[in-house]
Structure 1
Amino acid sequence: MKVLHSVNEIRQAVRAARAGRPTVKVGFVPTMGYLHKGHASLLEAARKKSDIVVLSIFVNPLQFGPNEDFSRYPRDEQRDLALAKEAGVDFVFLPSVDDMYPRPTKTIVSVSEVTDRLCGASRPGHFDGVATVVTKLFNMVQPDFAFFGMKDAQQVAVIQQMVDDLNIPVDIIPCPTLREEDGLAMSSRNVYLQPEERKQALVLSSALRLAERLVKESNGTIAAEELQAAVKQHIEQSPLAQIDYADVLTYPSLEPVTDLKAVSSIIVALAVKFGKTRLIDNTIIQL
């Protein structure tokens, strides 16, 4: 496993790995580090589908708002590198902020409509930062496949829209959300949770199971407003939960839905704060 820091280093490494091997496929897993089993599952998927696996670790300042947790976002480089090595990663791209943004950025990639709701509404500018850094990383690594976890389903939808619209030659591979044994979606931010917050955060996964059950029991006839209200009421039973959103939308277009019978799939998407920690989770229900 090689650890590379500069743009030229990662470009040259991937180019050399492809040299004389036209059928070689490069799989790419972009992350912000503090890796856990969810990331490991992405790397496993990349290993199975690709000849060369590239992992990037970069906490991207462009996607953090002025009052968000960029400075305190958890970091553990040595732990990350150990997990990467165990997962069979070939190249780890570990740039600094100066490597990624050597001068003030005057070009921003902005995806419209699919960013209008959910985290796009509550975190203005967030997805501009995501789309910009992912475009830069795709240009640097030039992968055949890129693997993203469905825990952030809106991010997957945004990146797929961007790739389609800009004809970027990379296949986006969505991967299932990994959960702890008790149902909590794995997240680097879970480390922030105090014991009681961690316990009450289980309301997210139980609310999603409730939504799945209500849709199944109604055979898809439940009104979206009724489904959304039931999910919110369930979460509000947890006294520490502060709901940012609990929405029912079409997926992947992320548009409002009134009649479930008129659409093929919906997402029940949640963002809830416990103390200072904001957690997201979702389930996609085929109808």
Structure 2
Amino acid sequence: MEWLFNFPELFDLDTTAIDNAVRSFAVSAEAVLDMIKGGLNGQVNFVSMFLSYIPWPIFLLLIVFLGWRIRKSLKSGILYGTLVFLVGAVGLWELMRTTLAVVLASVAIALVIGIPIGILISNSETANKIVRPILDTMQTMPVFVYLIPALLLFGTGNASGVIATVIYAVVPVIRLTSLGIRQVDKEVIEAAKSFGSTRWQLLQKVQVPQAMPTIMTGVNQTLMMAMAMVVTTSMIGVRGLGMEVLNAVNRIEIGRGLVAGSAVVILAIVLDRLTQGGVTSDKNKSAEKVENINEGGQGQ
């Protein structure tokens, strides 16, 4: 009766063949992969260099200013500036700047890829049916799996970390861009069409602006998922706060890990609050545009 409790193994999958195929591809496409790697490293280095030219007092004042302008509260700006100051005060300023460069570079690529795909699948049911299972797979795949092909194709370093982060973090902005455009009020779309708007004008001046709060929520979630990959990508050589956490784990240094982990949390909170403030601002602007369109329709 053992066969009732031991599930039969019907297929003997040869995973080595997959590994060999990827390695063969990496060798044959080495020139192209080196170009991509150089471009990604160059983008991270550019952002890092840009941040390095900002004196730390100016950087803190910029955080305070953004917090004040976006959150409409000077207290919020001072709080965010104080939190970032604490990261530098414990000796993690350079690591924080490195982490921020990798995150910003990854998020920029994710948005360039994700927003157009989201717009595409929002207007095409066929494209949506094709892309949706792919997004489901990307969203549920364990994050460590993304590190393996990135490591095989690009080796250790920032390029592999950016690739893995983009794959992991691009899903929310695609889904929410599509959702936001699909949820635009049909009456607003009909009003725009009645004024003779072309398909491009409808997308550019009505659908995207109306969906901007939802799109910004997707940007916020992409940013947070990129921050969540900071520690994971340190396993393939990405430096920054994640590497500090990984070193603390390897050496079983609780205090060091707690301080570095708290710095990651602080950076994530500040970025989250600033982008959430942008969502609220876009909601108010969208509401004003809806009123203007409706008033124009009534006047007509």
| Higher strand content, 1 or 2 | 1
Q: Which has the larger radius of gyration?
A: 2
Would you call these one fold, judging by a TM-score over 0.5? no
TM-score with structure 2 setting the length: 0.22
**Greater relative contact order (Cα < 8 A, sep 6+):** 2
| Higher helix content, 1 or 2 | 2
